[in-house]
Structures are given as C-alpha cells and as structure tokens.
Amino acid sequence: MNVEDWAEIRRLSRAEGMPIKAIARVLGISKNTVRRALRAPEPPRYVREPKGSVLDPLVPRIRECLRADPWMPASVIAERVGWERSMSMFRARVREIRPDFVPADPSSRTSYQPGELMQCDLWFPPVQIPLGHGHSDSPPVLVMVSGYSRVMSARMIPSRHAEDLIAGHWALLSELGAVPRALVWDNEGAVGRWVRGKPVLTDDFQAFRGMLGIKVIQNRPRDPESKGVVERHNGYLETSFLPGRSFTGPADFNAQLSGWLHTRANQRQHRRIECRPVDRLAADKAAMLELPPVAPATGWRRSLRLPRDYYVRVDTCDYSVHPSAVGRRIEVHAGLEEVTATCDGLLVARHERCWAPHQSITDPTHKAAAEAMRRAHLRAVGDRERACADNAASDEVERRDLSGYDRMFGLDSDTTAA
C-alpha cells in the first residue's frame, strides 16, 4: 500500500462515510488492507531492514579499548583490534561509540537581558595601515558588541597598553551614551589575568570600572566560546568590511569603519535575533547605566620637571614642549588623537598623536624659541665673563710699607743699632 492509496482510503471513510466493504470493492483491495490503513497513525513509508556491518563483531573489543581509555585514538584502537580495512568507516563507528564513555561537553547558548553586558576583544586586521614617517603596521581595533541588541562598536587604537585601551573604551561608550552593567574580556594583559584559579584585574582597569560602577568578567583561559558573540563579529569585520578597501592612515580607517557600522553592520537583519540590531538598541540603552558625571581619567598622564632638552616621552615617541617650562613641573596628557602639556594651567605643548614608533615630534615654534633662548643665554654668559675680566684688570692691590711692622715689634733698625 502506497501513500496515495492510504490517503484515498481515509478520505472515503471519513468524508464519504463509506463502509470498509464498499471501500475494498471500489479500490480493488482487501478489507484487511482497508482496516490497516484506517488504524495506521501515520502514512506508510518504506523502511529498509538494516544490514549488518563487518565491524559488528569488533564492537565489543572497541568498547573494551574505550573503557580502558576513553580518549584512545581510533588508529590505536584499529591496531589493537586488528582492523586492516577502511579507516574512515572505522573512525565513524568509533565516533558513534565514544560518547558512551566520554562525558559530553556541550557549549552553552546564553540569552542576554537588555543592558546586561557587552563582549570586548581586540581585532588585528590583516592589512598594513600607513602610520607616517615611513612606517606601516596593523594596530589593534577595539571591538565591543552588546549581548542583547548585537549592536557593534569598534575603533582602531594606537596600542594595546592599558592607557590606550581604557581611552578606547571611554570613546566608544561616550558615543553610545550609556554604560552596560558588565564588560566581558578574555585574559588581555592590560585588563587582567587568572592567578591561582581566580581572575585578577589590573589596577588601571579596577579604577576604570570603579568610575563607571560596573563589573568586568574575565573568561577562563582557553575558553573562546564564552565570548563567541564578539569573536563572530571579528570574523564579520574581516570578511565584510575589509575586502576592497584601502586606507591612508588610522584616521581614515576609523572614519570608514564608523560609516560602515552605522549604515551597514548595525542595520542588517541579524539571523540570531531575527531583527536589526538598531531595532533593539533603544531597549538596550534604557536598561544600561548612565555615563558617570565625572569622566574617568583616561590616556597617558605624567607629571614631571621638564628637562633641558624640552622633550617628554609618551609610549615610544618624544614630543617637544615650549622651552620656557624647562626646570618647571608640567602635566602631560596623551589621548587617542593628541598629546598636550600644561605648566601652571597654561598650555605649553599640543601635538597630534604619532602612531609610528620611536619618533621625535618637534613643534617649529618650540625649536625657534629654544634657539632664541640659547642665544640669549650665551650672550648673557659672555657679558658676565667679560665683566669679570674687566674687573680683574682694573683692580689695584695696595702695597703696605713693611717698616711699620718693624716699629710695631721694636725692630727698628736705628734702635737696634744703638
């Protein structure tokens, strides 16, 4: 009996109300066949009787090997049981049996609540970005993805040092206008590490999360699935953003990336959430925390007395400061885009942040002022030396009559002679 006959039998019985005997006479089949069709809970289908396999006699011995060592390789098991035929068939059978002896390790599929967390990671694009001064490299890109809305934020930063990493966080969160209740990170050196089975944040990140009032979740080592959302977005950046693009520098990279995120990445239909990330953004931000009223200290900050060569070092580069501040205490701040220095509240240096390593950045006005001050100093030193020489030449030393000492001590020659 095929499916067509089965369907027709049920139609005649249910819709037409025909008895079994009449159905059998109309369709030319036996009454028992009609009865079986009416009793069947589902359409008939052909089921082939399973054939035996040449591996069936070896299954008990395979199980003994796996019972002794659940992780024993299939090639070793084949040697132990004397299998000399197709290894692909043998490996397939071992894969079927091994779960009976190895505990399952399923990956969790976590659902996120609005405003709950954002997963963070550093993505190193496989392209060379011109950094100036003849240098090119692939600086890190800080990527942050909301667990609930899947909204992605990203920005290229100069380095993976804590100062630049925290500054990148603050720039992206300020652009978002809200702060998630938790940030998820792996064991990035600037964020923290696991010590004796416990996560330990760096002092810089402890201070940053304290200013935001949030927590930072550190994944265990070798557990990339715990932040699989951002890992998949890293791959999406590499396959959808990079192809066919060229960049003139980090600023151009960030400009193109920002435009792509707003017009493409966060506007696309997301398969997992079955909507666009921007459709969930309002609910996500409503559940997040507000930005702190006082911005946290970010970037590179130093306080020092300006040396005579009037340069200060930030990361690997030296930046000039107005030489009028030599010997005085200055405050240096370097963000993602510029480097500034102040002395007693007055701005004494402002430079664009240099991404190329080991460079000396000089402001022409600082160099001219230093040369003028050096010439003035040399003139002053010369004038002082000449004045000292003139004074030495004009000074007259009084010569005292020594006979006065003879008279004082009664050694006058006339008195002695008498």
Angle value at C-alpha 253, between 313 and 294, nearest 5 degrees: 60
404 and 380 together in one domain: yes
- The per-residue pLDDT of the chain, averaged, comes to 89
What is the DSSP secondary-structure string of 273-292? Answer: TTB-HHHHHHHHHHHSBPPP
The β-bridge partners of 317 are 314
Confidence grade of residue 41 (pLDDT, cut at 50, 70, 90): confident
Q: Who has greater pLDDT, 299 or 412?
A: 299
Confidence grade of residue 418 (pLDDT, cut at 50, 70, 90): very low
319 and 260 together in one domain: no
87 and 229 together in one domain: no
Domain that holds residue 330: 299-418
271 and 404 together in one domain: no
Q: Is residue 110 domain-resident?
A: no
Q: Please give the pLDDT value at position 407.
A: 76
Of 334, 183, 176, the C-alpha closest to 258 is 176
Q: Who has greater pLDDT, 237 or 102?
A: 237
Q: Is residue 44 domain-resident?
A: no
Q: What is the mean pLDDT of residues 358-380?
A: 92
Q: How far is CA 175 from the centre of its chain?
A: 17
60 and 9 together in one domain: no
Q: Please give the pLDDT value at position 345.
A: 92
Select from 224, 255, 287 the last residue of a domain: 287
Q: Is residue 294 domain-resident?
A: no
Q: Is residue 113 domain-resident?
A: no
| Residue with token string 């011995």 | 61
90 and 169 together in one domain: no
Q: Please give the pLDDT value at position 110.
A: 67
Q: Is residue 48 domain-resident?
A: no
Is 66 within 8 Å of 59 (Cβ atoms)?
A: no
The β-bridge partners of 145 are 119, 152
Distance between CA atoms of 43 and 26, rounded to whole angstroms?
Answer: 21
* 253 CB-contact burial (10 Å; exposed 0-12 / middle 13-18 / buried 19+): buried
Which tokens go with 404? 């006065």
Does the pLDDT at position 299 exceed 50? yes
Q: How far is CA 341 from CA 305, 309, 317, 351, in A?
A: 12, 15, 15, 9
Q: Is residue 195 domain-resident?
A: yes
Q: Please give the pLDDT value at position 231.
A: 92
What predicted TM-score, i.e. pTM, was given to this entire model?
A: 0.68
Residue 85, C-beta contacts closer than 8 angstroms, at least 6 positions apart: 54
93 and 165 together in one domain: no
Task: Read off the pLDDT of residues 183-232 as tens digits, 9 standing for 90 and up.
Answer: 999 989 999 998 888 999 999 999 999 999 999 999 888 776 778 899 99
Q: Is residue 46 domain-resident?
A: no
145 and 279 together in one domain: yes
Domain count, the chain: 4
Highest mean pLDDT among 86-100, 217-231, 403-417: 86-100
176 and 210 together in one domain: yes
What is the DSSP secondary-structure string of 192-227? Answer: EEEETTEEEE-HHHHHHHHHHT-EEEEPPTT-GGGG
205 and 331 together in one domain: no
Is 289 within 8 Å of 212 (Cβ atoms)?
A: yes
146 and 270 together in one domain: yes
Q: Please give the pLDDT value at position 5.
A: 85
329 and 417 together in one domain: yes
Task: Give me the CATH number covering residue 222.
Answer: 3.30.420.10
Q: Is residue 108 domain-resident?
A: no
Which tokens go with 321? 């400061």
